[in-house]
Amino acid sequence: MPLRFRQGTVLLVHVPVALEVVYKPGDLLCLVDGVAYPLEHWENVVGGAVTHSDLPSYFLGVCHSESGLQGVEQISVDISPMSVYEFDVDSNEYEFGEPLRPALNQDGISEWFSNTELISSLPENAIARAMEYQIEPSNKLRVSFASAFCSGSSNKFARLGCRKV
């Protein structure tokens, strides 16, 4: 299921893109050396000995504009912690405010690109929070995202500016 905006206040920022990458509305993005990348590219772009727990420090937000390979140099990204989106999650019960992160496979590698699923997480590894209480197991949940680039978010790395690697 694609990510769907449900309610709230968006905070759009314009960020540079990698010209060789296609961006779609709803893509979750990270910011590496001042350039936005979809999460499916994150591990390849960052490279080296990064772990999945490093993702929150790079997490930017939700893409709101499209860019193909037509030379678009920037896109709009929602970094607001007040925006609520409906997203696929691991079928489970969820508490309001529960921290969430992308799913991992058995090798500890992100399955983001295959199932776009969020699962329960330790707060320090989270890029999202449950915005509703689910008393019955459900595979859809309303969530808000925690950008590392919005000082009002619940991301432990929340700050303004680019991370220097």
Segment 91-139, tens digit of pLDDT: 677 889 999 888 765 555 555 444 457 778 888 888 899 898 877 777 7
Amino acid 83: pLDDT: 92
Cα angle value 119/3/139 (rounded, 5°)? 40
Amino acid 104: pLDDT: 61
Quote the CA–CA distance of 120 and 81 in Å, as a whole number: 18
